[in-house]
Amino acid sequence: MTDNTSPKIALVTGASRGLGAALAEELAKTHHVVAVGRTTGALEELDDRIQAAGGQATLAPMDITNVDAMAQLCRSIHDRWGALDLWAHTAVHAAPLTPAAHLDAKDWAKSVACNVTATGQLIPFIAPLLGETGTAVFFDDAQAGEKFFGSYGATKSAQIALARSWQTETVRTGPQVYILTPAPMPTATRARFFPGEDRKPLADPRAEAQRLLKDIT
């Protein structure tokens, strides 16, 4: 296990861009961040920003749907630090908007694999690392059930349902499981859903990351 001089360790899945990157930067002020994402270049840019601010990160460029890679990452975290203090799960597949009667089979499969199956695999991997005192954070989205949001909405809802079950199960034993709802932000995911939207009224991801993290401290 980590000793009293060891840093707190935070795992951010989906850290390449958007809210995940903003959370990683904010957490790096107080934690060593393990940043997971599919885009190596974006992770390297994140690492540059974290280092420039005096923080430290370990980059893990991988797809969360690769169960063997994620199992090895969790084993590596255990071997190096012994435990995790916090897990923020922001990774998501945002399928293009389409009527439910015209769902694309490949997009549906990707949505299920990333948003549901991977979450169901990661929780058993990460729960032992969090132990009784760690914290897990999931992020809800109000788009579920709206027209054209079938693939994204259904699978995001399933992910949150799983998180809520875990949250209820761990009330007495830990870890603490939080389900937070971010304000709309000018992320690449939202731009795919709402092209041409006026982005000025949307919340800044860095400010939103600060607000959300205050809710769990």
Provide the pLDDT for residue 12.
Answer: 98
Quick one: what percent of the chain has pLDDT higher than 70? 97
- Enumerate domains of the chain plus CATH numbers: 8-214 (3.40.50.720)
99 Cβ partners below 8 Å, 6+ apart?
147, 148, 150
Q: What is the DSSP code string of 50-73?
A: HHHTT-EEEEEE--TT-HHHHHHH
The mean per-residue pLDDT over the stretch 137-143 comes to 92
Residues of the chain with pLDDT > 90: what percent?
Answer: 88
Give the CA angle between residues 172, 173, 177 to the nearest 5°: 85
CB-CB neighbours of 62 under 10 Å: 17
Distance (Å, rounded) from C-alpha 196 to C-alpha 22?
Answer: 23
Give 195's pLDDT tier (boundaries 50, 70, 90). confident
Give the CA angle between residues 42, 154, 120 to the nearest 5°.
Answer: 65
pTM of the model: 0.94
CA distance 39 to 165: 31
pLDDT above 60 (res 6): yes
172 CB-near residues (< 8 Å, 6+ apart): none
Backbone angles phi, psi at 86, to 5 degrees: -150, 140
Identify the weakest region by mean pLDDT among 25-34, 115-124, 139-148: 139-148
Please, which pLDDT band fits residue 142 given cuts at 50, 70 and 90? confident
∠ CA(74), CA(79), CA(82), 5° rounding? 85
